[in-house]
């Protein structure tokens, strides 16, 4: 210990530079971990907020929402498992939507049963119904509101916005919930 204190006293500048470098590296790690956590949360916020204990994928889908296709027979098998109270279908697709003012955005479209538990809570407007769509608030910030019509591309299907939800993104894209 005596030798270390003597070295610090005689080489104050070197010790200060090393300490400053350690503080800068620690700050960089802190900032990058915050950035990584934010990006991870934005990537799967809609999935994280699903009111589900388990998610079932098709065996050959490699745990990908885009490649997993379960039919009613598969859902019936899941419902027959002991301890399963309810099983609901969720369709996920990445696409583009265009707006009335000729704008467009890449979105994730989540197909859910409007009366089921996967339908999102709304912050304004009405809940998801048999017709219409509930959009994430980030689309609302682009000027889309309740009552507006968006067009799903490239199919050209037009959907009326009935409600707005918040913090629902998937792969960094806002989610549009449809029946």
Q: What is the mean pLDDT of residues 159-176?
A: 93
Place of tokens 């999102």: 120
Q: What is the mean pLDDT of residues 2-23?
A: 88
Tens digit of pLDDT for each residue in 13-43? 988 999 999 999 999 999 999 999 989 888 8
pLDDT of residue 101: 79
pLDDT of residue 8: 81
Bond before 44 cis per omega within 30 degrees = no
Average pLDDT, the chain: 90
Predicted TM-score (pTM) of this structure: 0.81
Half-sphere exposure of 95 (CA within 13 A, CB side): 18
Band of pLDDT at residue 133, cut at 50, 70 and 90: very high
Contact between 141 and 103 (Cβ < 8 Å): no
């Amino acid at each position: 210990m005596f030798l270390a204190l003597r070295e610090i006293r005689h080489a104050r500048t070197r010790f200060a530079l090393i300490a400053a470098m350690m503080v800068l590296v620690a700050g960089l790690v802190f900032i990058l971990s915050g950035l990584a956590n934010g990006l991870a949360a934005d990537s799967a916020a809609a999935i994280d907020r699903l009111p589900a204990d388990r998610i079932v994928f098709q065996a050959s889908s490699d745990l990908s929402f885009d490649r997993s296709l379960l039919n009613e027979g598969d859902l019936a098998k899941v419902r027959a498992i002991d301890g399963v109270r309810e099983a609901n279908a969720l369709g996920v697709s990445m696409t583009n939507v265009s707006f009335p003012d000729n704008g467009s955005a890449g979105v994730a479209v989540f197909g859910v049963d409007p009366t089921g538990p996967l339908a999102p809570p709304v912050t304004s407007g009405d809940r998801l119904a048999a017709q219409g769509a509930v959009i994430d608030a980030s689309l609302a910030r682009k000027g889309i509101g309740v009552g507006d019509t968006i067009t799903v591309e490239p199919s050209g299907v037009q959907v009326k916005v009935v409600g707005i939800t918040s913090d629902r993104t998937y792969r960094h894209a806002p989610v549009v919930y449809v029946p």
